[in-house]
Amino acid sequence: ALHRLNAADDTAPAVTMLRLADLGISRHAFRPDPHCAHCGGLPDDCAAAAVIPRVPRPKPDPAVLRVRDLRAERTELEARYADDETGVLKGLRTRGLHTLPFAEAKVGPPESVDGGYGRALDFRTARVTAVAEALERLGGGRPGGRHTVVRGSHRELAALHPGGVLDPATTGSHEPLRYREPGFPFRPYHPDLVLSWVWGYSLTRERPVLVPEHLAYYRLGRHSPGDVRPFVSEISNGCALGGCVEEAALHGLLELAERDAFLLTWYARLPAPALDLRSARDRRIGLLADRIRESTGYRVEVFDVTGAEGIPSFWAAAVDTRPATGSGAGAPRPSVLCAGGSGLDPERGVFGALHELVTAVEAYRMIYPQRVADAARMRDDPEQVRLMDDHALLYCDPVAARRLDFLLGP
């Protein structure tokens, strides 16, 4: 052990641990935390840093939408980021007792742990997906590349930067009465409300613009003082990881299209055509739907909910086909679970939606039996639906699930 310790690379940031129980020695690399006062430090945010350079980004193949294949870099990625003691990611694990190969990685401080999850047709891809999703969530939660320095009201900043400030009033708000409710977590917006702002790049204006920080990042509430409240929930932004900024932006836009199409269909109760999964060129789509049905007892339906933008978007639903259990016959099962997907290649969008659906089915088959009463309360009182996860739990209830008959009905 002493020989290994002496031979270790002293140039890389790392700590050496000595286990007193058996005198075992292990070395654990770490990366500077950008938010740490001792090892971190970020450059100030600025307009110039938000500009997207116009440079060629050749793809390895016309059929792919990524400039790099992370599977070829799995070993390096895990060595750089994953370590149960000191890593950016902790608890990177694969599990085989699932419908598909599954991997997960934990990210974030102990008081605010998040997870990255990967499902694929092989374990290597599942692990890479879990690492990438965990890093995506780390980056999307709060600024990790530049220090936020702009603070002021929209009225003040619009005068300083004409045409260079996003008007928060255009992003939507809650109903005015909601802001007066006791305990409502958001505050009403007005042009003189002082906010923190970050620099982004507007693809329509083709210039840097200031954006409210809490609209660009979705976990600021866990890291900000308690008296700093946003004016609206930001959970449906598009966040994505990429091998270059253009790739990340493309996949972020696809996520926005997916969520927009999904929510508009739900809000407006729009009918949508069902897809014949067996007619797909990619035979894995039909086989995956069969796999879900055979392993879980849920019938899979996929609907085309593509919006006016023409970006292929899909709503996947898993409908329980097993008879309702009587008293003492077994744990209650979720009635309906849903997921979304999108992609420039429609079949890839469908495949992504099915992967998300597998995750939902397996998670809520464990969660719902423990929270049947919570789902029933939300069914009878919509005001009890307060978190994003509550929506999925609500439609596990067999009575509430009938509200989706506009889509799932004959």
| Residue 130 to residue 112: CA distance in whole angstroms | 18
In a domain, 178, yes or no: yes
In a domain, 234, yes or no: no
Together in a domain, 118 and 67: yes
What is the number of domains present in the chain?
A: 3
Together in a domain, 133 and 157: no
Together in a domain, 250 and 187: no
Q: Which of 140, 162, 186 is the last residue of a domain?
A: 140
In a domain, 265, yes or no: yes
Q: Which of 116, 140, 164 is the last residue of a domain?
A: 140
Phi, then psi, of 391 in degrees rounded to 5: -65, -45
Q: Which of 161, 191, 222 is the last residue of a domain?
A: 222
Residue 344: CATH number of its domain: 3.30.160.660
| Residue 243 to residue 57: CA distance in whole angstroms | 10
Containing 362, the helix (H) or strand (E) segment is: helix 346-367
Together in a domain, 266 and 129: no
In a domain, 36, yes or no: yes
Query: What is the reported pLDDT for 34?
Result: 86
DSSP type of residue 44 = B
Query: What is the reported pLDDT for 329?
Result: 59
Query: What is the reported pLDDT for 317?
Result: 98
| Cβ-contact 52, 207 below 8 angstroms | no
Together in a domain, 281 and 351: yes
Together in a domain, 204 and 65: no
**Which of 86, 70, 221, 40 is CA-nearest to residue 133?**
70
Helix spans in 142-225 (H): 154-160, 176-179, 213-216
Query: How many other β-carbons are positioned within 10 Å of the β-carbon of residue 124?
Result: 14
In a domain, 395, yes or no: yes
In a domain, 198, yes or no: yes
Residue 193 one-letter amino acid = L
| Cβ-contact 101, 121 below 8 angstroms | yes
In a domain, 9, yes or no: no
Together in a domain, 252 and 388: yes
Query: What is the reported pLDDT for 248?
Result: 93
Query: What is the reported pLDDT for 324?
Result: 62
Residue 185: CATH number of its domain: 3.30.40
Per-residue pLDDT of the chain (410 residues), as tens digits, is 566 656 555 667 888 888 899 888 888 888 888 888 888 889 999 999 999 988 999 988 888 889 999 999 999 999 999 999 999 999 999 987 778 899 999 998 777 788 899 999 999 999 999 999 999 999 998 899 999 999 999 999 999 999 999 999 999 899 999 999 998 889 999 999 999 999 999 999 999 999 999 999 988 865 555 546 788 887 667 889 999 999 999 999 999 999 999 999 999 999 999 999 999 999 999 999 999 999 999 999 999 999 999 999 999 999 998 866 554 557 899 999 999 999 999 999 999 999 999 999 999 999 999 999 999 999 999 989 988 899 999 999 999 999 999 999 87
Together in a domain, 171 and 271: no
User: Domain of 73?
Assistant: 14-140
**Which of 86, 79, 92, 96 is CA-nearest to residue 133?**
92
| Residue 80 to residue 89: CA distance in whole angstroms | 9
Query: What is the reported pLDDT for 342?
Result: 96
In a domain, 297, yes or no: yes
Q: pTM to 2 decimals?
A: 0.88
Together in a domain, 183 and 314: no
Together in a domain, 190 and 163: yes
Together in a domain, 131 and 168: no
Together in a domain, 271 and 395: yes
